[in-house]
Amino acid sequence: MNTPALVLGRHLDVVAWNPLAEALLGDPASRPPTERNMLAVLFRDPEARMLCQGWESMARQYVAMLRAAVADDPDHPRATALVGELIIHSADFRRLWARHDVRENVHGTTLFQHPEVGGIALDWDTYPLPGSPGPVLLVFTAEPGTADAERLQLLASLHATVAHSGGPRLEGQSPGGGLS
């Protein structure tokens, strides 16, 4: 796949990813499993704010997705823990959570300021996967034939070189061998 893609659980936990998502966003396996969550990263990791120039828009969309999941099962332990943690540790999360926006599937455009390839504007969409309540596929794409598409291809090439030298690893698999 020539585009970054992640599978997110219903509370936006990162379940699986492809090599290009790892190259764009960092290696989810480098985080403890409880911190492999798109919202936790967006609201608690200062590097995520520097990487995503469209941080506010993306964060607002993801909070609305979490609200949709919480509406389906307000007492779910993962939702309770995640919302509680973010409310305590992030004024930005508290502000966006208080908006009460609810959306199941979202999309947008984010300008990433990537340390290896510079500025790259990517559209992103979520697609529901089978299951109830089901996970979603988050896919980032660049308009074909644009400088952004070239930068994405460059990032893929750079990462392929690094990944090749580090040996094989299944996407979504932690170094210890278990699926994250």
Model's pTM, two decimal places? 0.83
Round the average pLDDT of the chain to a whole number and report it: 86
Higher pLDDT, 161 or 174: 161
Q: How far apart are CA 111 and CA 118, in angstroms?
A: 10
The pLDDT score that the predictor gives to residue 49 is 85
Instruction: Express each pLDDT in 7-22 by its tens digit.
Output: 999 899 999 999 999 9
Instruction: Express each pLDDT in 68-101 by its tens digit.
Output: 989 988 999 999 999 999 999 999 999 999 999 9
In a domain, 74, yes or no: yes
The pLDDT score that the predictor gives to residue 162 is 60
In a domain, 77, yes or no: yes
Question: How are strands ordered across the β-sheet holding 5-8?
Answer: 14-17, 5-8, 136-141, 118-128, 107-114
The pLDDT score that the predictor gives to residue 167 is 38
Query: Are 6 and 14 within 8 A, CB to CB?
Result: yes
List the CATH number of the domain containing 73.
Answer: 3.30.450.180
In a domain, 180, yes or no: no
Residue 123, pLDDT > 70, answer: yes
In a domain, 31, yes or no: yes
> 128: which strand partners?
136
% the chain with pLDDT above 90: 61
In a domain, 179, yes or no: no
Q: Which domain holds residue 92?
A: 5-166
In a domain, 178, yes or no: no
Query: Are 105 and 128 within 8 A, CB to CB?
Result: yes
What's the domain count of the chain? Answer: 1
Residue 77 corresponds to which amino acid?
P
In a domain, 99, yes or no: yes
Task: Render the burial of 53-89: b for 16+ CB within 10 Å, e for the rest.
Answer: bbbeebbbbbbbbbbbbbeeeeebebbeebbebbeee
Encoded tokens for 160: 């392929």
In a domain, 174, yes or no: no
Please give the average per-residue pLDDT across 28-46, as a whole number. 91
Please give the average per-residue pLDDT across 147-175, as a whole number. 70
Instruction: Express each pLDDT in 143-153 by its tens digit.
Output: 999 999 999 99
**Dihedral (C-alpha) 144, 150, 151, 153: value to the nearest 10 degrees?**
90
Query: Are 126 and 10 within 8 A, CB to CB?
Result: no
Which band of pLDDT confidence, cut at 50, 70 and 90, is reported for residue 1? Answer: low
Residue 141, pLDDT > 90, answer: yes
